[in-house]
Amino acid sequence: MNTEMNGKQVKRIWWNGANGDESMTAEGQRTLMLAATHHGDRDEFWVVQYAGTVEVARHNCKYIATIEWA
């Protein structure tokens, strides 16, 4: 990943949950998008969850096992 991918749509993410692998899918009113920013000495990557046009959650890519792009 790089910061040029900022705003790219995500279809599904997977992470290692307490009960094994868990996933979240972009469906219905839920949209998932990559937020990639540069902060001078580092890049940060998040998958941002929207309900309609409102941001409802951010998922740090450090803890995501797999990203499936839309």
Query: Would you state the pLDDT for residue 16?
Result: 85
Question: According to the model, what pLDDT value does residue 17 have?
Answer: 78
Place of tokens 């995501």: 64
- Domain residue limits at 20: 3-69
Q: What is the chain's pLDDT, residue by residue, as a tens digit (70 residues)?
A: 899 999 999 999 999 877 778 899 999 889 999 999 999 999 999 999 999 999 999 999 999 999 999 9
Domain count, the chain: 1
Report the candidate in 64, 68, 69, 60 with the shortest Cα–Cα distance to residue 16: 64
By C-alpha distance, which of 28, 22, 23, 1 is closest to 12?
23
